[in-house]
Structure 1
Amino acid sequence: METDESDRYRAPALDKGLDILELLASVDSGLTQAEIAKRLDRSPNEFYRMLDRLVKRGYVTRLDGDRYSLTLKLFGLAQLHAPVRRLASYATPLMRDLAQRSRQANHLAVFDRGAAVVIAQQEAPDYWGLSIRVGSHISLFDTGSGHVLLAFRSDEEREMMISEHVRSRKDADLGAEFYQRLNQIRERGYEMMASAQTAGVYNLSAPILGPDGRGIAALTCPYIALVNAPAAPDITQAIGMVQKTAAELSALAGATIAVQG
């Protein structure tokens, strides 16, 4: 009996898990175990152990007790994929130029498993500047990078990101004002806020957008007023520079991802 070349090395358990992930990725509000089984034309009992493992490994979460939905773990893993690593590499000369023109440090952050993670940073060219080391995990709720990463995602993705962040950081509940702020950031295209961590610093943040218009990273300048540098750009000029660099990186990210996809 001849065997189809594509089925020679079948892994039924792996296929079953991938079927579940692909199905859940295609729906917005999650599915029950029975609905998953019906759509995949299988018995519900076939999926109990697989769903249990996917939940324990963090790829799937249970909503309202009996509905299953994807988490953002796959999205977090995707941040380590070549396009984003390449974005960090390609961003270096643009970030260096931004630092020179603004006289300020800057960094690039992405969302990864419940936090904003710094994947690239550029020092200020002079004596004074505030830098955040690469690999730092920072809050989504009280940083410019976190606000921008949340603002430029869909409502559903935003809620999943917040859910993962709360689960990992135990932050307080959010109010309506927080969501209004995110919507305002999206409308004006950037965040400008006093740092919640360091007095006298303002976070100037703008999004790096993918080809579909969704935020994939945040470019942030921790702005400090330079008293002994009268020619240094003021905060309004600096946010304009951050936006311009973010737009250039967005164009680059779109081209990069399009080539990879």
Structure 2
Amino acid sequence: MNDLDQDRYRAPALDKGLDIIELLAGVDGGLSQAEIAKKLDRSPNEFYRMLDRLVKRGYVARLDGDRYVLTLKLFGLAHLHAPTRRLASLAMPLMRELAEVTRQENHIVVYDRGHPVVIAQLEAPGYWGISIRVGSRMGLFDTGSGHVLLAYRSPEVRAMMVAEHVASGGPEGRMTEAFSRHLDEIRARGYEMMPSAQTAGVTNLSAPIVSADGEALGALTIPYITIINAPEAPDITRTIDALTETARRISELAGAGLGADLTDTN
């Protein structure tokens, strides 16, 4: 496309809005309307309506003293298709199959800034089951998912995860020698099985989704409940077998490329 064609398809209002966003992205502390106009070599009146729209849409925030700063909305939009979402998309068909086979709910949890967070979930196919909402933040020390995420990380990364968890309000002093040995046991057997610390009668079953180098990308978890009126539902031993096999298949689907993204960003 030549310069004439580019001029023909210009969108001045859009250009003006993008100019403001790009300018604010490169400064700390924000700019006033007059400063924005001066830096972009325009009249201040040209930017009033555009700034008003950017504020109302959440891309820009107005501070005291008539200063404008860029918000994190663009950052959030950029991460709508982050590696964790690709992992959820890849895993969903296998999670659906797992739910049908086990008659239990299952969900995927990844580590994010101090907490395990649910990124994908499938309901149990019958009338009864535990439901965990996508986006739920969990404990690192008192959930099967948290244990698996810690077990399949190096000691250095574990220490970083614990420090972030404590800084975000989690309990201190949980990384004892006994707990470290327990994490090693989880890694040796390939899954965690523990009574739920949140719900009576539930047993947390968690298996790792791992990258090519064995580091945890996430944890696939079933909050197992005994279903009395469904004799065809597998017992807990067969459920563990189905869980670990599904986690292995998801790990293979995720591949080394996705694994590198996830372990670098979580």
Query: Identity rate of aligned residues, in percent?
Result: 60
Structure with the greater alpha carbon radius of gyration: 2
- Please list, as runs of the form range in 1=range in 2, the aligned pairs for 1:46-195 lying within 5 A after superposition: 82-174=82-174, 175-195=176-196
The number of residue pairs the alignment matches comes to 185
Q: CA deviation at 1:79?
A: 8.7
Q: CA deviation at 1:160?
A: 0.5
Distance 1:199 1:162 in 2: 26
* Pair 1:162–1:193, CA change in 2 (3 A): same
Question: Which 5+ residue runs of structure 1 have no aligned equivalent?
Answer: 1-13, 15-77
Task: Tell me what 2:199 maps to.
Answer: 198
Distance 2:259 2:223 in 1: 31
* More displaced 10-residue stretch of structure 1: 193-202 or 165-174: 165-174
Is contact 1:211-1:257 (8 Å) kept?
Answer: no
* Pair 1:208–1:95, CA change in 2 (3 A): same
Distance 2:185 2:143 in 1: 15
Secondary structure of the corresponding residue to residue 119 of structure 1? strand
* Pair 1:181–1:90, CA change in 2 (3 A): same
Task: Tell me what 2:225 maps to.
Answer: 224
* Pair 1:81–1:160, CA change in 2 (3 A): farther
Is contact 1:110-1:218 (8 Å) kept?
Answer: yes
Aligned-CA RMSD value = 2.2
Distance 1:79 1:196 in 2: 32
Distance 1:88 1:167 in 2: 28
TM-score (normalised: structure 1): 0.67
Distance 1:80 1:208 in 2: 21
Cα offsets for 1:19-40 (capped at 9, x unmatched)? xxxxxxxxxxxxxxxxxxxxxx
Question: Which 5+ residue runs of structure 2 have no aligned equivalent?
Answer: 1-25, 27-77
Secondary structure of the corresponding residue to residue 153 of structure 2? coil
Task: Tell me what 2:239 maps to.
Answer: 238
- Please list, as runs of the form range in 1=range in 2, the aligned pairs for 1:35-46 lying within 5 A after superposition: none
